[in-house]
Amino acid sequence: EDQVTQSPEALRLQEGESSSLNCSYTVSGLRGLFWYRQDPGKGPEFLFTLYSAGEEKEKERLKATLTKKESFLHITAPKPEDSATYLCAVRFQKLVFGTGTRLLVSP
Amino acid sequence: DGGITQSPKYLFRKEGQNVTLSCEQNLNHDAMYWYRQDPGQGLRLIYYSQIVNDFQKGDIAEGYSVSREKKESFPLTVTSAQKNPTAFYLCASTDGLGQGYYGYTFGSGTRLTVV
């Protein structure tokens, strides 16, 4: 069964304290890995798409990387406004979502 | 601006009542999806439709029904058979049988509560 696992479930950082979120998956014909940001009470908002191992994408303080079995979302010098739940999804025949990492950045 | 509109934002259902959640998109996307989100769980697929007048059950379809009479619209009915409907419901769409670069575009969600 195709599965997507995100870790940690929750992460608390001080402002400026860099860290990484992990998304691992079992492969059965990967056709793209996606990262989304979700704020409370809102729908997920697209961040990145990664298609092949070795690929990297950056946006402001976020950088997503992909290997054959996992992806990392690196957050450099985070700010309180980066606090959100970060969802990873992998497309096999349909999108399969992880349970997310709740990130809280304190000033 | 193109996007997906879900309404209402909050919905309350009494025991034994059917309620319908609206989802409209103006992105000209072919495929539309309904997900349920519960605390501590990932998004779970309820139903999806890749073309007008056709739809398929997802992983948790029991107690739900959908229709796809127009490309732009994909309403979800939560029936009285759904015993635990309290959740956050998300509608999404994508183009070309799911080949969109952005994965799925999501609406802002409907929070359904049983009273």
Query: B105 and A99 in contact by Cβ < 8 A?
Result: no
Shortest Cα distance, chain A CAs vs residue B97, angstroms: 10
Q: Number of CB pairs < 8 Å for A and B?
A: 53
pLDDT in tens, B90-112: 999 988 655 566 678 999 999 99
Query: What average pLDDT score do residues B32-60 get?
Result: 93
- Which positions ≥6 away from A25 have C-beta within 8 Å? A2, A3, A4, A5, A33, A69, A70, A71, A90, A96
What is d(CA B106, CA B100) in angstroms, rounded to the nearest whole number? 13
Contact status, residue A63 vs residue A56, Cβ threshold 8 Å: yes
Shortest Cα distance, chain B CAs vs residue A95, angstroms: 8
CB contact A42 to B (< 8 Å) = yes
Query: What average pLDDT score do residues B68-83 get?
Result: 95
pLDDT in tens, A73-103: 999 999 999 999 999 998 877 788 999 999 9
CB contact A86 to B (< 8 Å) = no
